[in-house]
Amino acid sequence: MAKLQGFEFWKKTLQSAKYILAPMVEQSELAWRLLSRRHGIQLCYTPMLHAQVFLRDANYRRENLYNDVSPEDRPLITQFCANDPEVFVQAALLAQDYCDAIDLNLGCPQMIAKRGHYGVFLQDEWELLERMIQLANEKLSVPITCKIRVFPELEKTVKYAKMLERAGCQLLTVHGRTKDQKGAQTGVASWEHIKAVRDAVSIPVFANGNIQHLTDVQRCLDETGVQGVMSAEGNLHNPALFEGCSPPVWEMAEEYLEVVQKHPPCTLSFVRAHLFKLWHHTLQIHQDLREELAKAKNLAGLEEVNRQLKQRCQEEMAKDESERHQTGLPFPHWICQPYVRPPPKDPSQENEQKTPQVKAVCMKRALEDSDSSNDPLSKNKQKKKARNPHKNFCPELKPKYIKCEQCGNPKGNKCVFNLCRGCCKKKAFKEVADCPGHGLKFKTKAQKQENSTNGEQVNGNGSIQPEPCTALPDQPAAQTLA
C-alpha cells in the first residue's frame, strides 16, 4: 500500500485531527494521553525520544514506547530528537510499527538541546535537515513530520518551511515563538508567522502557542487558517481545555490517578509532576500540601494528598465569597485554569535582591544561553570572571616563574637541580640521586637495597643494625629439641 502524503495523510490516517496534544518530555506519557483523549484531544504525540539512545538501548525502547502504547491511543505520532540522518532513520525504523508518523523535533530551545545539538539549534543547518528528512521520507513506511520554531524574520521562516516541505515533510507544526523566547522571556507567540507559513505551503499545518482557553483555539483557527491547534502548557493545567470546561482540580486528579492504575507501569515522578501542574494555584494557598505531595512514595500517598486537598477546597467553597482566599485569578483557585507567567522584572532591581551565589548562577546561565559574544574571552573564562571579577587572564600580567633549565616549565621551588618535577625525576633516576624538594629518594632506596644484600636491616628511624646472631660468640649453638 502506497504511503499517504500531505492532506490525504491528515484526513485518513490522522482523521482530520483538529485538537492536538503536544509532545512533552516526561509529561505526555500514555496515561496522560488517554486522559486528554477523554476530554477532546484527537491526536497525541509521544514524549520526545532521543534517537541515538533509542537505537542502542533496548530497555529505553521498551520503557518509552513499546510498553507505553495502547489500541485506544491512536492516532499517535512518535517524536525524536536527532542530528545524524542515519541514526535518526534507524531509530525511526524501530518505532514506525507502533505509531502513525515520525516527527523530527526542531523546536526544543532548552540548554540540554543546545549541548546535544538538536531541536531548535539545528534550524540554521538547512542542508543537514534536508538530508535527514529526505532519507526518512525514502526509508520509512510512515510519513515524516516536523515541529519547528520561527525565525524573527517572517520571510526567513517561510523559506525554512518551504525547504522542509520540499525535502519530504508531510505535516508541519509551527510554534510561533523564536529560539530565545523561553522561560521568563517566553512572551506571546506570533500567529502572523504561523499564518504566513500556512499560506506558503501545500501541506497541513498545526499551530502552537497562546492556547489557554477554548476561545483561543477557535480564534487561532480563524486567524491563521491552520488545520489544527496544539496545546502543551494549557493542557497540563486543564486537560479539559478542548471541551471548553474548567472542572475542579481534584476531579481531574482523581480521574488521572484512575487511568494510571489501569495502565501501569507509570513512573511516579511523572504522576507527581502532573499533579503539581494541576494543583499549581491551590498549592500557593495550601503550601503544606506541597510538601506532602513531594514526600509521597506511592499512588496511595498521592491519592491521600488529593483527598486532603479536596476536603479543604470544599470547606472553602462553603464559605461566603468575601471569606475566601483572594488570588486575583479569573476563577477560584480550585478550578482548572492556565498559569500565566509574570512579565520579566527590571534586571537592576532583580539583581539587588539576589545573593552572590544566585547572581553567579544567573550569570553562568546567561553566558550559556548566549550564542555569541563580543567578549574576547572564551565562555569558560567568562564564567570564571563572573565568579571572580579580579581574576587576571592577561599573560603579560601573570606572575613570572623561574623556568626549568631543560624544558622551560616552571621549576620546583626547592629542587636541588633547578628543574621541574618531570626533568628532575629523570635526572635523579639516571644519577641515582635524591631531591627532597620533589620527594625523590633514588639514592636512599639504592643504599637500603645494598645494605639489605649485605645482611643488614634498617630500623624505622633510618639507623642500620646488624643481622641477629643465632649463637653467642665462642659458645656452641643450643641443640634443637626433638
Active site residues: 108
**Omega of the bond leading into 330 within 30 degrees of 0 (cis):** no
Report whether 76 contacts 99 (CB < 8 A).
Answer: yes
The set of long-range contacts for 213-217, using a CB threshold of 8 Å and a minimum separation of 24, is 213/241, 213/244, 213/338, 214/241, 214/242, 214/243, 214/244, 217/19, 217/241, 217/242
**Alpha carbon of 364 to those of 155, 192, 384: distances in Å?**
33, 34, 9
Q: Give the SS3 label for residue 73.
A: coil
Q: Give the SS3 label for residue 435.
A: strand
60 exposed, middle or buried (CB, 10 Å; 0-12, 13-18, 19+)? middle
Residues forming beta bridges with residue 19, ordered by sequence position:
229
Give residues with Cβ within 8 angstroms of 215, minimum separation 6.
none
Q: Which helix (H) or strand (E) holds 440?
A: strand 440-441
Distance from C-alpha of 254 to C-alpha of 273, rounded to nearest angstrom: 15
Report whether 241 contacts 208 (CB < 8 A).
Answer: no
The residue behind cell 485554569 is 337
CB atoms within 10 A of CB 466: 9
End-to-end CA distance of the chain: 100
Report whether 345 contacts 188 (CB < 8 A).
Answer: no
Distance from C-alpha of 210 to C-alpha of 125, rounded to nearest angstrom: 28
Give residues with Cβ within 8 angstroms of 343, minimum separation 6.
none
Report whether 189 contacts 22 (CB < 8 A).
Answer: no
Q: Which helix (H) or strand (E) holds 189?
A: none
**C-alpha grid cell for residue 36?**
486528554
Longest dimension (CA), the chain: 121
Report whether 444 contacts 434 (CB < 8 A).
Answer: yes
